[in-house]
Amino acid sequence: MWGRSIRLTRVAGIDIRLDASWFLIAALLTWSLAEGYFPALVPGTGPAELLIAALISMLGLFGSLILHELSHAMVARAYGMSVEGITLFVFGGVAELRNEPPDALTEFRVAIVGPLASLAIAAIFLMARWVAAAVGAADLAVAVLEYISLANFVLAVFNLLPAFPLDGGRVLRAFLWRRSRDFAQATRTADRISTGIALAMMTLGGIQILWGAGAAGLWPVLLALFILAASHSARLQTDMREALAGLTVRQVMRRDPISVDPDLTLAVLVEDVMMQNGITFVAVVEDGQLLGIVDHETVRRIERENWAHTRVDDVFLALGPEDVVTPDVDATDVFERMIRGDRRKFPVVTHGRLVGVVTLADLMARGRLNTELGHSRG
């Protein structure tokens, strides 16, 4: 779903990952706390103490985000939904669910528990702040506890904005879904409302920038762009699921795909197969059995001067059961696998023999056609 990420740990069987963009926001947050926030609250504090306080605060917010997303994941799992993992990124975090909630009430429960968890964390740290102040703890320690409490309160309030994919947007969709009993229509309405909120945020950010607020105005604009992209993506996915409903891979796949023998050289593969046919990947077949695929990315990793001496057999990617599909699989299931993973194309096989290829572009094209013609079955 995201760009490059690293696996941090595993909690209750759920992988916790950090997107590369998270390191940017962690560094910016630590710097702003050490250079601006804490010096203003506790003047006269040394640079080393300020940096330590900033790091502790950043880690406190980091842990709070994990707990926020874990609350989503645990409730989702309690209602039978599969959780792929949790990823923290520049705008916060996301619990990656493999399937949509089965009903509006489940969507509401999964969505609302996140802000409730953040409010609970805010209350705990606020009480800790009062206790620390009462027993005469250092002002900087009190400030750290206060910051973590405030950050969680802001996190809860912001997430309750009725803009998809924020928690408030999902609560809104649950309400619309419950009222209309139509998940797709609820998603479309939530997308329209989210677009309006995002445009308002962009306008506010633009005004702040014109007034000289600088980075303070840039953040609402960036958040608005994220909301627009994520909301439209959710609507597109919902529309595609609806358009592909009832179709099998057999009805959308490309039949008689081009294949090559493993003894072919890369030079011949590129010039006579890929370039001639305008394709980026080719199935590798021997004696009628699918062995794997070779794509342009694999070829690019080989020095051009070695293409004439390198065979397809030396570089092709072997395929396991999870890397292929059968003709009778639901098209919507394959679409879900594509958008939630990093594969955009699958060979279609019957008893190990290649019978076709299905790509994300094929599914999108068929979905658009079905939508325009007003039906979903081939």
The burial of 253, by beta-carbon neighbours within 10 Å (0-12 exposed, 13-18 middle, 19 or more buried), is given as buried
Q: Which of 35, 49, 69, 96 is catalytic?
A: 69
Answer yes or no: 69 catalytic: yes
68 is an annotated ligand-binding site residue = yes
For residues 284 and 290, is the Cβ–Cβ distance under 8 A? yes
Please provide residue 234's backbone torsions phi and psi, each rounded to the nearest 5 degrees: -65, -40
Give the CA distances from residue 378 to residues 34, 163, 244, 251, 328, in Å, rounded to whole numbers and listed in that order: 61, 35, 9, 7, 13
72 is an annotated ligand-binding site residue = yes
Give me the torsion for CA of 232, 237, 238, 239, rounded to 10°.
90
Please state whether beta strands 281-286 and 259-260 pair in parallel, antiparallel, or not at all (unpaired).
parallel
User: Which residues are CB-contacts of 99 (< 8 A; sequence separation ≥ 6)?
Assistant: 81, 82, 336
309 is an annotated ligand-binding site residue = no
Give me the helices (H) in 79-103, please: none
For residues 283 and 290, is the Cβ–Cβ distance under 8 A? yes
For residues 193 and 159, is the Cβ–Cβ distance under 8 A? no
Give me the torsion for CA of 217, 218, 221, 223, rounded to 10°.
-110
Give me the helices (H) in the chain, please: 20-32, 38-41, 47-78, 104-134, 139-159, 167-180, 183-210, 215-244, 266-268, 275-277, 296-300, 312-315, 331-340, 360-373
Partners of 117 in beta bridges: none
Give the Cα separation of 29 and 37 in Å (integer). Answer: 10
Cα radius of gyration rounded to whole Å, the chain: 26
| Sign of the CA dihedral with 89 first, then 91, 94, and 99 last | negative
User: Which residues belong to the active site?
Assistant: 69
- Binding positions for Zn(2+): 68, 72, 167
- Binding positions: 68, 72, 167
